[in-house]
Structure 1
Amino acid sequence: MKNAFKFDRERLLLGIAGPVLALAVAFALSVLVLVASGLDPIEPFQIMFSSLQEQDVQVLIVNQWATYYLAALAVAVGFRMNLFNIGVDGQYRLAAVLAAIVGVKVSAPGPLHILIIILTAIVVGSIWAGVAGVLKTARGVSEVVSTIMLNAIAGNLIAWMVLKDQFGEQAEGSNDLTTGLIDESGWFPGIKVSDFAGEIYGFVFIAAAVGVVYWYVLSRTRFGFDLRASGASESAAAASGVDAKRMVLVSMLISGAVAGLAGMPELLGGTHTYSSNFPVGVGFTGITIALLGRNNPIGVAFAALLIAFLDKASSQLNLEGYPAEIAKIMQGLIVLSVVISYEQVRRYGQRRQQHRVGEELAAQAKKNRKEVSA
Structure 2
Amino acid sequence: MNTWRARLLPPALAIVFSAVLCSAVLLISGADPIATLLEMVAQVGRGTTAVDIVNTAGAYYLVAIAAAIGFQMNLLNIGIEGQYRLAACVAAIVAGAVSLPFGLHAALVVVVGAVTGAAWCGIAALLKVYRGVSEVISTIMLNTLSIGLIAFLVRVFGEMRGNSQGTAIIPASGRVPGLPLGGAGTVFGLVALAVLVGVGYALLMDRTRYGFELRASGLSPTAARAGGVNSRRMILTAMLLSGAIAGLAGLPEILGRDHTFTINFPTGYGFAGLAIALLGRNHPLGVAFGALLWSFLDKSSLTLDNIGVPKEIVTILQGTIVLSVVVAYELVRRRELAAEQRRVGEALEPVAASGGERA
Tell me if both proteins adopt one fold, taking TM over 0.5 as the criterion.
yes
2:272 is equivalent to residue 285 of structure 1: yes
CA distance in 2, matches of 1:72, 1:215: 13
Contact 2:154/2:263 (<8 A) preserved: no
Q: Specify the alignment match of 2:71 in structure 1.
A: 79
Please report how far the alpha carbon of residue 152 of structure 1 lies from its aligned counterpart in structure 2 after TM superposition: 0.5
In structure 2, the CA distance between the partners of 1:363 and 1:277, relative to structure 1 (3 Å rule), is farther
The alignment's TM-score, normalised by the length of structure 1, stands at 0.92
Q: Does 1:248 align with 2:235?
A: yes
Question: Given that residues 126 and 256 in structure 1 are in contact (C-alpha distance below 8 angstroms), is that contact kept between their aligned partners in structure 2?
Answer: yes
**By how many angstroms is 1:80 displaced?**
0.3
> Is 1:167 aligned to residue 139 of structure 2?
no
- Of 242-251 and 196-205, deviating more is 196-205
- Pairwise CA distance, 1:55: 5.1
When structure 1 is superposed on structure 2, of 215-224 and 318-327 the one drifting more is 318-327
- The answer as to whether partners of 1:19 and 1:293 remain within 8 angstroms in 2 is no
Residue 194 (structure 2) pairs with residue 207 (structure 1) = yes
Question: Which segment is superposed worse, 272-281 or 329-338?
Answer: 329-338
CA deviation string 1:96-129 (max 9, x = no partner): 0000110111111111100110000000000111
The alignment status of 1:47 with 2:39, answered yes or no, reads: yes
What's the CA shift string for 1:179-224, capped at 9, x where partnerless? 1221111111211100x22211111122111111101111111111
Task: Give 3-state SS (helix, strand or coil) of 2:74's partner.
Answer: coil
The equivalent of 1:271 in structure 2 is 258
Query: Which of 185, 188, 191 is equivalent to 2:179?
Result: 191
Matched with 1:222 is 209
Bigger drift between 311-320 and 42-51 goes to: 311-320
Q: Which SS does the other structure have where 2:107 is aligned? A: helix
Q: Distance in 1 between matches of 2:212 and 2:58?
A: 27
Which 4+ runs in 1 deviate beyond 4 A?
363-366, 368-373
Match of 2:53 among 37, 56, 61: 61
**DSSP-derived class of the 1:162 partner:** helix
Which of 5, 16, 20 does residue 24 from structure 1 map onto? 16
Number of the residue aligned with 2:114: 122
Q: TM-score, normalised by structure 2?
A: 0.95
- Aligned partner of 1:149 in structure 2 is 141
* Identity among equivalent pairs (%): 49
- Whether the 8 Å contact between 1:110 and 1:185 is mirrored in structure 2 is yes
Match of 1:5 in 2: none
1:4 corresponds to which residue? none
SS at 1:314 equivalent: helix
1:271 Cα deviation from its structure 2 partner: 1.3
Shift of 1:250: 0.4
Q: Secondary structure at the match of 1:245?
A: helix
What letter matches 1:157 in structure 2? L
| Equivalent in 337, 341, 345 of residue 328 of structure 2 | 341
Match of 1:181 in 2: 169
Alpha-carbon separation, structure 2, partners of 1:81 and 1:257: 16
C-alpha deviation, 1:369, in angstroms? 6.8
Segments of structure 2 that go 5 or more residues without pairing to the other structure are: none
Q: Does 1:235 align with 2:222?
A: yes
Partner of 1:295: 282
Distance 1:188 1:361 in 2: 64
Amino acid at match of 2:267: V
Return 322-331 or 243-252, whichever deviates more: 322-331
* Letter of the structure 1 residue corresponding to residue 233 of structure 2: R
Give the whole-Å Cα distance in 1 for the aligned partners of 2:351 and 2:187.
60
1:132 pairs with 2:120: no
**3-state DSSP of counterpart to 2:180:** strand
- In structure 1, give the amino acid aligned to 2:97: K
SS in 1 for 2:168: coil
- Establish whether residue 258 from structure 1 lines up as the match of residue 248 from structure 2: no
Shift of 1:316: 1.7
Number of aligned residues: 359
* In 2: Cα distance, 1:55 partner to 1:175 partner: 28
Tell me if structure 1 keeps the 8 A contact 2:64–2:277: yes
The answer to whether the Cα contact below 8 Å between 1:57 and 1:313 also exists between their aligned partners in 2 is no
Provide the aligned C-alpha RMSD in A: 1.8
SS of residue in 2 equivalent to 1:21: helix
1:19 Cα offset (Å): 2.7
